Amino acid sequence: MAILTTPYTDINATMRGIRTQVIDSIDWVCDNLPKFSSPEQMFNQLKSMVVYRNDPDGVELLQSVPTLFDNNYWGVRGAGDCDCFSILVLTACICNGWNDQRIVLAGRSKLAPVHIWTEVKYKGKWYAMDLTQPFINSTRNYKFTQYLYV
């Protein structure tokens, strides 16, 4: 498992890195996290396990879930930012068999998103799973949002 650190280039490179980290995280998450009975239960459990830290200046830091918890870049268990948390949520949803997901990219301009979170469709309803926020379905307002279906 790995920490992917690269100079920030663009959102496409970030999305490719997130995909790689989710794939690398599946075995660990399926083996080490419980099955959840609802998105709210998942959100509350995962929220209690993470601590927000900005990426280092000029670097896109993408941590797989094992490294987020066991070999963290910051030396603090669960420390990461919105893309690290999205990797965690995406992988946990996969391990729970909740495969109707989307990534939300948000920002002040169309071409430069500054925030990312995951939404999962469960029993016909979309749930925003932004672990930088205090509650499930809580998101900040941005001028531009884009949905990428997983």
Q: Residue 6's pLDDT is what?
A: 67
| SS3 annotation, 38-61 | CHHHHHHHHHCCCEECCCCCCEEE
pTM value surpassing 0.75: yes
**In 3-state terms, what secondary structure has residue 98?**
coil
Which segments of 48-117 does DSSP mark as H helices, in order?
A: 65-70, 82-95
As averages over each run of 10 residues, the pLDDT of the chain (150 residues) reads: 64 89 97 98 98 92 95 95 98 97 94 93 98 97 94
- DSSP letter, residue 111: S
pLDDT score for 4:
59
Residue 47: give its domain's CATH number.
3.10.620
Q: Which amino acid is at 113?
A: P
Tell me the C-alpha distance between 42 and 58, whole Å. 32
**Boundaries of domain holding 129:** 3-149
Instruction: Dig out the tokens for 38 from the structure.
Output: 């609802």
5 contact partners, CB below 8 Å, separation of at least 6? 56, 59, 60, 61, 62, 73
**DSSP state letters, 8-41:** ---HHHHHHHHHHHHHHHHHHHHHHS---SSHHH
What was the pLDDT predicted at 114? 93
Look at the chain and report how many structural domains it folds into.
Answer: 1
Q: Output the pLDDT for position 104.
A: 97
- DSSP code at position 110: S
